[in-house]
Amino acid sequence: MRKKIVAGNWKMFKTYAQGLELASEVAHMVQDEVHGQVEVVLGTPYIHLYAVARQVAGVARISVAAQNCHQATEGAYTGEVSVTQVASTGAQYVILGHSERRQYFAEGAALLLSKVQAALAAGLKPIFCLGETQDIREAGTQDDFVRGQVADVLYKLTPAEMAQVVIAYEPVWAIGTGLTATPAQAQDIHAVIRKAIATHFGDELAQATPILYGGSVKASNAEELFAQPDIDGGLVGGASLQSREFTNIVKAMRA
Ligand code: PEP
């Protein structure tokens, strides 16, 4: 069975103290209320990583993700954080290719490939984000577009590397907008992504790859989305900033 994952992306929210409080609340709620096989990932700002990783170290099912990393293991890159540094905090995942990084920091396929490969080499599992903009969806070319995003980066990995990757399909028009893809729209494109993985890497690897949906996931829509056969969980932005709402989303994953 594929891994089921609900990951929160705190983005650039929460002071240090607020972040620790949020992580502690989520850890308690998950411990008390979540009994299935779902893995919960807290995608925190860099400054929280080490402390949150320690906080959740003894808690089953919870791990920690960075939201970005530099592709080098070390070097004179003032202000950057390396893959090795991220891994040394106890984080197991790193979110890469988020549409906000692609849009505001001009991260393209070549850079993302180098980050994905560096993360894997440092023992981190990439949560690789992709998804179309509103214009592409309106033109009806979203399937080709996401196939291209898969090919440009993930086809360059070895099968052993690909086996460590989690994909997050996040239609850009649904991120932080309150708009959500319908369960049928999301299922259709998740199936396209899985097929694209199968075409290059074979069916076994495609069937084992978790593909998360992201874009205004809330407790009220999570159950229907997560019930789709090719949706293996969620990447949650705004709703991950409240422990009750986020835990209810985790509980919507029937695993
Ligand atoms: C995200 O940032 O990855 C995201 C999906 O945000 P939101 O849930 O707020 O739409």
Where are the chain's structural domains? Answer: 5-251
Catalytic residue chosen out of the listed positions 39, 48, 70, 98: 98
Alpha helices in the chain (DSSP H): 16-33, 49-55, 83-88, 99-104, 109-121, 134-139, 142-153, 159-162, 183-201, 203-208, 219-226, 243-251
Ligand 1 close to Cβ of residue 219 (< 6 A): no
Ligand 1 close to Cβ of residue 214 (< 6 A): yes
String of DSSP letters for 126-159: EEEEE---HHHHHHT-HHHHHHHHHHHHGGGS-H
Question: Per-residue pLDDT averaged across 8-18, rounded?
Answer: 98
For domain 5-251, the question of CATH label 3.20.20.70 is answered with yes
Q: CA 77, 83, 84 angle in degrees (round to 5)?
A: 100
pLDDT at 45: 98
Q: Which atom of ligand 1 is nearest to the CA of 95?
A: 3
The model's confidence at residue 1, banded by pLDDT at 50, 70 and 90, is confident
The model's confidence at residue 179, banded by pLDDT at 50, 70 and 90, is confident
Instruction: Please write the tens of the pLDDT for every residue from 32-57.
Output: 999 889 999 999 999 999 999 999 99
pLDDT at 178: 85
What is the DSSP secondary structure assignment for residue 3, as one 8-state letter? Answer: P
* Spatial distance between the Cα atoms of 205 and 209, rounded to a whole number of angstroms: 6
Q: Which atom of ligand 1 is nearest to the CA of 98?
A: 3
- Cα of 212 to ligand 1 centre, how many Å? 12
pLDDT at 180: 86
User: What is the value of pTM for the model shown?
Assistant: 0.97
